[in-house]
Amino acid sequence: MFPTFVGWVLTIVGAGLLTTLRADTSLSKSVGFQIIIGSGVGIIYVVTLFPILASIPVTQTAPAMALYVFSRNFGYVSTLLPPSLLHIVPIITRIET
């Protein structure tokens, strides 16, 4: 439970810090903030995998991991792609004109 808590705290703090970035923010500060949120997401990603694998037979670990990775990546794409497109498309059309 403790690693999950640490992962969520790092993710939330990192996301909050990323909102403070501006166009003139130093590179070291922006990289540091990304390392914080990346550490949190990485901890959450790894910590949730072991309970999944512990509850199934060893012969089923490969399909279980494949389903886990597919579901996680599909969730990322399906929730992040539409808002990103809504934000980027107007910018690209202004740049092209």
Residue 72 pLDDT: 85
pTM comes to: 0.66
Q: What is the pLDDT of residues 67-86, one digit of tens each?
A: 988 998 898 888 888 887 78
Tokens encoding 41: 């997401």
In a domain, 80, yes or no: yes
| Contact yes or no for 31/9 (Cβ under 8 A) | no
Instruction: Name residue, tokens 């990603």.
Output: 45
Statement to judge: residues 42 and 61 lie in one domain = no
In 19-34, which positions are buried (b, 16+ CB within 10 angstroms) versus exposed (e)?
eeeeeeeeeeeeeebe
Statement to judge: residues 42 and 72 lie in one domain = no
In a domain, 52, yes or no: no
